[in-house]
Chains A and B, each alone.
Chain A
Amino acid sequence: MTEDKKRDSDYEEFLRQLREEIKDGFGAVMEDEPQVQLGSLDLVFTPDSELFPSELEEYRPEEKKLRLVKK
């Protein structure tokens, strides 16, 4: 079997396994799924921001101003 055919065969098997893994769906809907994940931005929050309630206190409570800081 050529290298390309072996790679195609391996890829097809990967897709087959992935299809099998998800065929019944994803189970229960994840209620706590985060709305946003912005890993490449340095984000600064304020404790009194309406956007982020209690989790702000454990993140950066010392910040004064809500702003978006480009990395």
Chain B
Amino acid sequence: MAQTGGIELANLTKRFGDTLAIDSVSMTVPPGTYCCLLGPSGCGKTTLLRMIAGHDEPTAGDVRIDGQSVLGLPPAERGTAMMFQSYALFPHLTCLDNVAFNLKVRGVAKAARRKQAHEMLDRVQMDGFADRVPAELSGGQQQRIALARSLITNPKVLLLDEPLSALDEFLRLQMRGNLRQMQNEFGITFVHVTHTQMEAIAVADLVVVMDHGQIDQADRARAVYDTPRTTYVARFIGGQNVLSGKVVAVENGAAILDDARGNRFTVPTGDTAPGTGETRYLSIRRDRIEMEKLADPSAARDGTVNSVVGKVWMTEYQGTWVKVNITLPDGEEFVANIDDGRFFANPVHEGDMVLARWPAESVHPLEHRESSFDTSRGGMHT
């Protein structure tokens, strides 16, 4: 069976008055994909979702589902179904009537719609709750009912607006797996909006990182984490140290950079060799850092390339690793995640001066992007 539910956005733009919420976004979601729209609040991800659903109309551009433009169509005729952040379960109807709502408004006879609704409730393992009202259910149960209510419309695309934000930590992890499993089972496209990096990376085939109404990177989860395209993505997804420096030379496909602190880094140049004096940005995953205590901090640097010197201001034990926060001389923060065995074999303490270095092949070049995203807030702690 050829899968359906492919989404294409072409130069999609949305203005609210003077504010540009979505700035000419184009992207493709292949059929049957679990796609996460990820970004800080206000980045436009929910607006994008609502335009696909038909609850907001774009100012310009096109939304196509399976090649057909759905602009101007009412939500129910787009082949999409939306699950709301609050679930929006009708408080005056039982679970069964909630799930059967779509059939009722389409004029399906009572007996037939009850039968179908029971079947759907059964598929989400909620048939035992058919006669309860939403207020009697836990958050996780409400979510299943919301899911059943959306799926009964046989959508090609399920749109989920922050589906896990109303749940507590434990349920969030459980329902996350549940959503992924449902997506596999139904084989339809899921578009899931979230501001939690871990959530996106854990469930999605395709992670779309957004900021300021634009897409910064749309890629497989691993790629977004391991090889972020821009400084913004690297900082927002987290797990990376972002550094920059001015190019002093180019050798063997790598640029040599000097930063203002007197450190020297190398970074692969890729296709275009930079000119001397240009600023280049790079990232190194926190778990690729090696660290040693400096016996004599005042001793001159031995000229080690790809390293920084700083003072440890905090260590946090994380179970399988230790997060070491290092303050560089200009106040910038640098983080090394050291495997717990290695750390305790050679521990450092708060106040120690350390040298942190990394192999040249762990360096990943970045494009520079200004962002409103506050680095102190975010990032996964890996």
**Are A and B genuine complex partners?**
no
B interface residues (Cβ-Cβ under 8 A, vs A): none
